[in-house]
Amino acid sequence: MRALLIMLATLTLVACAAPKKEISEAERQQQAVQWAISEEVKLRLVASDCAQLDGILEAAANYAVRDWHVRNGELIQSADEHFTYHMSMFNNGNWEGATAMSQQMVYAAVQRAEQAARQMIPAESSDKRSVCLKTLDQYKQGGFDLVKINQAMAAQLGDLKSNRSLKDEKLRLQQAVVKKAPRSGRSLYVVEKFWAKKGCERGAVSVLVAKWPDEIYQGSCKNESVVIACKWGNCKELK
């Protein structure tokens, strides 16, 4: 037993002494990009949840989303442009590979956003309306701006925004994406998860509009036609 404890202690010391792996600049940028998109989706999830309570909260949610985007929209757009550019470069022109990777990234961002949104607006809250009013007001007043939440991540996004040397190249790339990329939206994994919750057959979804961040999907479920609209990976059924 004593020998086992000594061995565990030795392993612990070695692990603590081992140098931490340095994160490359590209990895830091990708972390910032995924974080930014996740924060955008979280805002929309919170707004959508609160807007269902009554008309006053619906208006408050719309104002919160609008004002937040006035202050943070350029950083979000910069993050998305950077992501599109590097996904295509990493996949060396393989559009199917780039699309698959972007779908995985969006899905991961949405998963994280859903968890954070549930913590902000707990479903079991005894006074959900008050929680919503307070949270939406914080969004409207700038309390949840990207630079307020995480200065380091926001600085990474700012560096991407200020890097104008790739501007024309990114524009050409985005035009190429529209022409060459397969008609498969980035939110496909999110939609398939939504589809499964409805008890529908997986894989029975087709994309109608794939102009990220706006996407529209359609499918047949239980003999009914279902249309799902997505914005920045936040998807909901159109009634």
Among the listed residues 81, 99, 98, the one whose alpha carbon sits nearest the alpha carbon of residue 185: 99
User: Residue 230, SS3?
Assistant: strand
Residue 180's pLDDT is 44
Q: How many helices (H) and strands (E) does the chain have?
A: 9, 4
pTM of the model: 0.70
**What pLDDT tens digit does each residue of the chain (239 aa) get?**
444 344 334 434 444 544 556 777 777 877 888 899 899 999 999 999 999 999 999 999 999 999 999 999 988 888 877 776 666 555 555 556 666 777 777 888 889 999 999 999 998 888 999 999 999 999 999 999 999 999 998 888 888 776 644 555 554 555 444 444 445 677 887 888 887 888 876 656 788 887 777 889 888 777 778 889 988 788 888 87
Residue 33's pLDDT is 86
Strands 205-211 and 214-221: antiparallel
Residue 21's pLDDT is 66
Sequence-ordered list of residues with C-beta below 8 angstroms from that of 146, at least 6 positions apart, any chain: 36, 39, 72, 75, 153, 154, 157
- Provide the Cα torsion 108, 110, 113, 115; round to 10°: -80
DSSP state of 21: P
CA distance 39 to 62: 16
